[in-house]
Every structure is written in structure tokens, then in C-alpha cells.
Amino acid sequence: MADVGTMSARGASEDDAGSESRSGPRVTRTRSLPGGRAVVGALLITAAAVATFAAYLNATAEPTTQYLVATEAVEPGTRFASAEELRAVLGTANLELIGPMNDRAIPVEELEQLVGRVLLAPLAPGDLVSRTTLVADGGVPDAQTLSFSLPRTAAVAGTLRAGERVDVLATVSEGGDTYTAYVARGVPLLSVGAPDGGPLGSGSEVLFTVAVADLADVQALGHAINTADVFLTRSVAGPGDDVPAPGPFRVDPAAPGPLPEGATSITPGGEVDRPDDGAGDEPDEDVEGDG
């Protein structure tokens, strides 16, 4: 006897096969192309990948801008009189600088513009040359140079640096009177150091080397250094400033003694009238005599 359950299953299978043969082959649905959003997303991903790769290439590329760097030690106060002197101590380095560093560094194309400038700070081999370390010395290549030492208390507490300009004043005692006068104005400082010629330390004395263009100012400055109490101030006089300084200061304007002229930054100032002390006055002809 056949199993009723087996026959039922077999019959169902045969019915399904017959039904499939009657309905024909099954048709499957063809997949469509990606939609607009998918295409845009793919393009964005590709663009981001390209930008990342370009940034990587830019970051790893060799810098092309050449900046000036020191190739040997250079002392502060050094004045570069020619392009050859600059090339002897400065070389170039390819660097990629940003922000303030890029603004302060000096590209090799500007080397010629540094002729006649004075170095304010020391340079060691490999140091990047900064615009703030090189200043104009006033254009005095043919000037006389003169060195003298002063106490720090007479020279702005020793804070003056090469490349700055100073006014030189002197206090003179003569004939029982004391007066203070300008000797020279706007004098360029070529170097500032210790009295032994070394770098500026913490000693009480400071050695200054100045450039003075006018021979009369050289005489006046040399005389004051050797005969008077000299002190320096940080000057506000610039190159070409010919505004005379005030005449000498004395407590009693009528006191006897020499009255120097007020100095200027270029040449000694004009004549300064001495106070009238009444000496040598001619008698008034209109005054009637006795009798």
C-alpha cells in the first residue's frame, strides 16, 4: 500500500512542474544605471581624493624661494660696503616660510639693497638674515670713525645698539661756571662693545665707535671727550636733519666764559649771540655831561 503522504507530495511537485511549463520561462528585471545623487557623490569623492593628493605633492615638493642665511660668524656693528662683502659671509637656502617669518626674511634678490647697512645682532653660520637685524647707517661711507668709552649711566644705561643714532652732549666747567651743550647730533653708531673690543658684557664701561662726516664735528667731539663730561642720548635726528639744537644751557645766562654754538646733525649751527653783559658799551652821545 502506498503511503498517502508521499503520494500527495509527489503530486504537488508534478503539478508545479506542469504549471511552470505552461507559463513559459521566467523573466528577470534588468538593473538600471546609478541615480543622479550617486553620480554626484562619486564625483565629490574623486575630487577630494585629487585635492588630497595635490596637497601631499605640494607639501613634499622642494621649496623654490631662496633666502639669505649666514655662512660664517658676523659680529654686530659690521657695515657691508659692497655686494662682494655680503656674498663673502652670506649664502642662500631654499625655504618655505609663512606669515611673519616670510615678511622678515630677506630673499636673495634683495642682496644688492643691503650694501651700506649695519648689522645690529650677531650672526652664526646657518642663521636666517632678518630685515630687523640690518639697518641703514645714514650713508656715511667717507666719514671719520672715532671710538670712545663711557659709563653705562652716561649712555642710556648701555641699551644703545649699532645702527642707532645718538646725540652727543658735554658738560663743561670753566671759570667757575658750568654749562651743558650739544656737541654733535644724529651721529651713527657703527659698533657698541666692551672697552677691550669684545662683545658687550655687564661691565660698567661701554665702548662706542661712531661715524662723523663733518671735520668740525670730529674736532668738537674729540675735544669734548678729552676735556668734558660727555653723555649720549638716543637721537631723534635723522640723515639730512639740519635743525640746530638749542644753545648751551647754563644756570646763569650772564655768567662769563665761552658760549659754544648749538650743534646740528650735519654742521655746527649758526652763530649764537652771547648775553649782553654790558661790557664795552659806548657812552650815549645824547647824554649830557656834567658842567
Percent of the chain at pLDDT exceeding 90:
20
Fold of 66-136: Type Iii Antifreeze Protein Isoform Hplc 12 (3.90.1210)
Which SS3 state, helix, strand or coil, does residue 4 take? helix
Output the pLDDT for position 157: 92
Higher-confidence residue of 16 and 76: namely: 76
Q: Tell me which of 36-50, 70-84, 186-200 is least confident.
A: 36-50
- Give the C-alpha separation, 191 to 147, whole Å: 9
Report whether pLDDT(228) > 90.
yes
C-beta pairs of 143-147 under 8 Å, 24+ apart in sequence: 143/188, 143/211, 143/212, 143/213, 144/211, 144/212, 144/213, 144/215, 144/218, 145/190, 145/209, 145/210, 145/211, 145/212, 146/209, 146/210, 146/212, 146/218, 146/221, 146/222, 147/207, 147/208, 147/209, 147/210
Read off the pLDDT of residues 121-174 as tens digits, 9 standing for 90 and up.
Answer: 778 999 999 887 787 655 555 678 889 999 999 999 989 987 788 999 999 887
For the chain, the average pLDDT equals 73
Read off the pLDDT of residues 160-198 as tens digits, 9 standing for 90 and up.
Answer: 987 788 999 999 887 777 889 899 888 888 888 888 766
Where do the structural domains in the chain lie, given as residue ranges? 66-136, 144-250
Report whether pLDDT(5) > 50.
no
Read off the pLDDT of residues 202-217 as tens digits, 9 standing for 90 and up.
Answer: 778 999 988 887 888 8
Read off the pLDDT of residues 233-245 as tens digits, 9 standing for 90 and up.
Answer: 998 876 667 777 7
Output the pLDDT for position 199: 64
Output the pLDDT for position 33: 54
Read off the pLDDT of residues 101-111 as tens digits, 9 standing for 90 and up.
Answer: 888 889 999 99
Is 210 within 8 Å of 137 (Cβ atoms)? no
Is 111 within 8 Å of 90 (Cβ atoms)? yes
